[in-house]
Amino acid sequence: MHDIQAAIEKLRGASVLAVAASLVARIELDDDEDEVLRTYRASLQAVRPQLIGAIAEGADRVVAEQEEVPA
């Protein structure tokens, strides 16, 4: 997973899809729902309308997971 994330990070400045993929990977790697993850989720939701394909599906999945967690 770290090799994939490193490859995504190289593309992050060039594509909103790369940014979203990076956010999905970071959220899925961390179990704690702290302020940083909430910021990642908010960022992911902000760019969601621009996402397509598997990255859009991943974004939807991690956002839905957060919504299922009881407060």
The boundaries of the domain holding residue 36 are 2-68
The number of distinct structural domains making up the chain is 1
pLDDT of residue 70: 54
Burial class (CB in 10 A: 0-12, 13-18, 19+), 64: exposed
What does residue 2 show for φ and ψ, rounded to 5 degrees?
-65, -35
Phi-psi domain of 37 (left: phi exceeds 0; alpha: psi -120 through 50; beta: other): alpha
| Residue in the structure block whose two tokens are 């909430």 | 38
pLDDT of residue 35: 79
pLDDT in tens, 1-59: 567 667 766 766 667 888 888 888 878 877 666 777 888 888 888 889 888 999 899 99
Cβ atoms of 65 and 45 within 8 Å: the answer is no
